[in-house]
Amino acid sequence: MSKIGFIGMGNMAKALASGFIGSGEVEGSQMYAYAPNQDKLLKNAEEIGFIPLKSASALVRVSDIIILACKPDQIKEVLEETKDDLAGKSIISIAAGWTYRMYAEIVKDVRIQCVMPNTPSMVGEGIFLFEEEGNLRPDELDEVRWIFGTLGLVVTMPKNLMGIGTAISGCGPAFFDLIMEAFADAGVKYGLPRDIAYNLIAKTMAGSAKLQLVTGKHPGVLKDDVCSPGGLTIKGVVTLEKNGMRNACIECIDAIMKEE
């Protein structure tokens, strides 16, 4: 098993590190991390089980696969800092907006794969978009796909679709969390204890998603299956349509894509 090193330990990196070690497929002794905030890094290391290091260069030297999990605007600085140690290494970038070609223009003698993960990877239900273009060796690509695959679904995506794929699967958890919170608030309004309200809506969302995945039915068909003529559900559906829920969902993606 290759030694994995994280540069950056924000929410997404924590989700991945926790998931990798929690899956039982990666040992904490095989995982390293560096982040500028050493106090926070040490706390996360104690919680998750990886080995903390004091510099990005030290991490690159001991790691076979380096996961760049820092902010997109910090990438160039990190590459400059570690350039003397990167030769012959493999980089997995999870920085939004960065592509294989962007890295290839900056670093040489480095193998690169861009991946866009999402936070449900922490519980083994992640989605990982692998940019189609990259130059990992076949054995490395197989290993990386296998490691990420322990935490969810791996999907190969053409470069031109990475942006919209990221908007849906990378940003999507926040949108669904917002919906979950809104329906839970409605439940609390009518007397449900908040913990019960969250549990009901979370399980309902998860069950509805699984039903679509298992049956392959169009979401509209599944919606129709719940809507009896003149019943309660269709009245709720009509109210959501009147208030522009469908349009709001599309426009939130439009807002993201305008930044691409």
Domains of the chain (ranges; CATH) run 4-161 (3.40.50.720), 172-257 (1.10.3730.10)
Cα–Cα dist 260/124, whole Å: 29
pLDDT tens digits along 121-168: 888 899 999 999 999 999 999 999 999 999 999 999 999 999 999 999
Please calculate the CA angle 151-177-223 and round it to the nearest 5 degrees.
95
Between vectors from CA 16 to CA 14 and to CA 21, what angle results, nearest 5°? 95
pTM (2 d.p.): 0.89
Range from 57-61, 106-110, 213-217, 225-229 carrying the lowest mean pLDDT: 106-110
- CA–CA distance, 134 with 114 (Å, rounded to integer): 7
Per-residue pLDDT tens over the stretch 197-254: 999 999 999 999 999 999 999 999 999 999 999 999 999 999 999 999 999 999 999 9
8 Å CB contact between 19 and 122: yes
User: pLDDT exceeding 70 applies to what percent of the chain?
Assistant: 100
Whether 260 has a pLDDT exceeding 70, the answer reads no
- Residue 244's contacts (CB-CB under 8 Å, 6 or more residues apart) are none
Q: Is residue 1 over pLDDT 80?
A: no
Phi, psi of 214 (to 5 degrees): -75, -45
